[in-house]
Chain A
Amino acid sequence: SQTIHQWPATLVQPVGSPLSLECTVEGTSNPNLYWYRQAAGRGLQLLFYSVGIGQISSEVPQNLSASRPQDRQFILSSKKLLLSDSGFYLCAWGGFALTHNEQFFGPGTRLTVL
């Protein structure tokens, strides 16, 4: 069966510090991978998606970036965090082989920027 991992679970960072969030998927090959952010009391916002190694598409321009160094690894980064980067970050995987582009979510990372 497939599983998706995210770490860390919670993170408190000062403004201007760098960020690296990691997501890994097990039990599947060549998945589509996604990074979402959820602000408090708001809906999910798609940040990046990837259909393969080294292939990243950005949905929202901002000071975040994403990389996919391996087939089942997806990393979200920032060189300098802003207060507005605080939120709940979710990684998801999905694939064309699944029904209607179903997406499965990881446990999330709660980021607080002070």
Chain B
Amino acid sequence: KNQVEQSPQSLIILEGKNCTLQCNYTVSPFSNLRWYKQDTGRGPVSLTIMTFSENTKSNGRYTATLDADTKQSSLHITASQLSDSASYICVVSAFYSNYQLIWGAGTKLIIKP
């Protein structure tokens, strides 16, 4: 069964600190993996997208890594800001499906001043 699992479920850190969010997936055949940021009460916004040949991709203070062998991804946030408070969702696309994305439940990140 295609699944995406994220950890931790929630995380609280102080402003200025770094953090890393984890994503494990069992989607096969794998096409690509993306990280979305969803502010409370808003639609998700894409941060990064990686295919199986890509190991790392950055978007400002966000850096995503992908290990296609172990089927794991991480999202590292550097020098966190209050505006980083949001849910971060890992989403995987299967190669045969042009329409359906397999969504993780997300990690709720709270940045405290």
Which stretch of A12-20, A61-69, A79-87, A101-109 is in the interface? Answer: A101-109
Show 10 A/B contacts (Cβ-Cβ < 8 Å), sorted by A.
Answer: A43-B103, A46-B100, A51-B99, A57-B99, A96-B98, A100-B49, A102-B46, A103-B46, A105-B43, A107-B43
Scan residues 88-114 of chain A and give those whose CB is less than 8 A from a CB of chain B: 88, 90, 92, 96, 99-108, 110
CB-based nearest A residue for B6: A43
- For the complex formed, measure the closest distance between the CB of B99 and the CB atoms of chain A, giving whole angstroms: 5
Binding site for B on A (CB under 8 A): 32, 34, 41-46, 49, 51, 57, 59, 88, 90, 92, 96, 99-108, 110
CB-based nearest A residue for B50: A100
**Are B105 and A107 in contact (CB-based, < 8 A)?**
no
6 closest A-B pairs by beta carbon, nearest first, are: A105-B43, A43-B105, A43-B103, A44-B103, A100-B32, A49-B99
Number of interface residues of B (CB under 8 A): 22
Q: Residue B79 at the A interface, CB < 8 A?
A: no
**Are B51 and A100 in contact (CB-based, < 8 A)?**
yes
**Are A46 and B104 in contact (CB-based, < 8 A)?**
no
Contacting residues, chain A, for B46 (C-beta < 8 A): 102-104
A103-B31 in contact given A44-B44, A108-B42 (Cβ < 8 Å): no
Q: Residue B14 at the A interface, CB < 8 A?
A: no
Known: A41-B105, A46-B101, A96-B98. 4 other contacts (CB 8 A): A43-B105, A44-B103, A100-B34, A105-B44
CB-based nearest B residue for A10: B41
